[in-house]
Homo-oligomer: A and B are copies of this chain.
Amino acid sequence: QSSVTLYGRVNTTVENQKVNNGSRTWVVQNNSSRFGLKGTEDIGGGLKASFNLESGFNSDTGAAASTFWGREAWVQLAGSFGAIRLGNITPESYFATADYVSMHNHDTGPSSDALYGGPFLNKNKVMYMLPAMGGFSMSVAMTAGEKVVKNGTDIGANYDAGPMHLGFGYSKQGAQSQWAARGLFEMGPVTLGGYFQRNDLGATTQNIWRLAGMYASGASEFHVNLGAANKGPKAGQWTLGYNYNLSKRTKVYTYYTKYDLNKDTAAADAEFSSLAFGVRHNF
């Protein structure tokens, strides 16, 4: 009857991984594969109704995510007033910051950002999006704790001006809160991005940095991605990556990634490294 779009991403790597002092092992690994349904109804008078259901799955084992439509499950009304979205929604504070600069593999899988932290609120959400103003867009969301958890707030903002792309995210739940500021700059074949996050865990406050660079040449992309947290505990992560875009929808890629999530101890208790070869196919 109506036009529903089926879409998704299958993103799978074969990796040689080392966890702490364990022996290196070959594994097949999912990198945030997903599929979804979405659609928009043009109601007229500038009004549009839309919905999105999005489900994560493990492309290595076939298992669905523990919450089936855990990525997105919402209905939205949009008009000149902006838009109201209700339901389960991946935080805009995240899309505006950590996700935005993760260029080498869309912040998925073993090389995804292991440091970005703070309240990550998606369930029981009411989100209001301001009407787009020039290059500026912003959303504010409230999450209902429903007497089970604390109520929360999530804010995401983006500003695009030619080659400059700025973003800001804020989220708060109970005594915990975080904010992050992001920039990304396109300079011909080179793109540089990064964010700074201040993550208030209550007892301590973390500073988290992330820098990402891409050099694109034809179908090739060369990537570097670096991150660090100053405490809580002190941590570091880096990734070198290479993507070859077979088409807009399909790429083959490789990366080497390494992190230590607890540099405060000499023990190898939170270390990980991996050499990966993968295929990502969007549909």
Contacts and interface: CB of A to CB of B under 8 A. Distances in A.
Interface of A: 1-2, 4-8, 10-14, 22, 25-28, 33, 35, 37, 39, 41, 43-44, 47, 49-51, 53, 57-64, 67-75, 77, 84, 86-88, 122-126, 144, 146-147, 246-247, 249-250, 252, 278-283
**Which of A5, A144, A282 neighbours the largest number of chain B CB atoms within 10 Å of its CB?**
A144
Nearest to A7: B1
A88 B57 CA distance: 11
Q: What is the count of identical protomers in the complex?
A: 3
A69 B57 contact: yes
Contacts of A26: 144
Contacts of A84: 279
Dominant secondary structure at the A interface? strand
A279 B6 contact: no
A176 B35 CA distance: 36
A73 B61 contact: yes
16 contacts: A4-B7, A4-B283, A10-B51, A12-B74, A25-B144, A28-B86, A28-B125, A28-B146, A41-B250, A41-B283, A49-B249, A50-B281, A58-B88, A60-B86, A61-B123, A75-B281
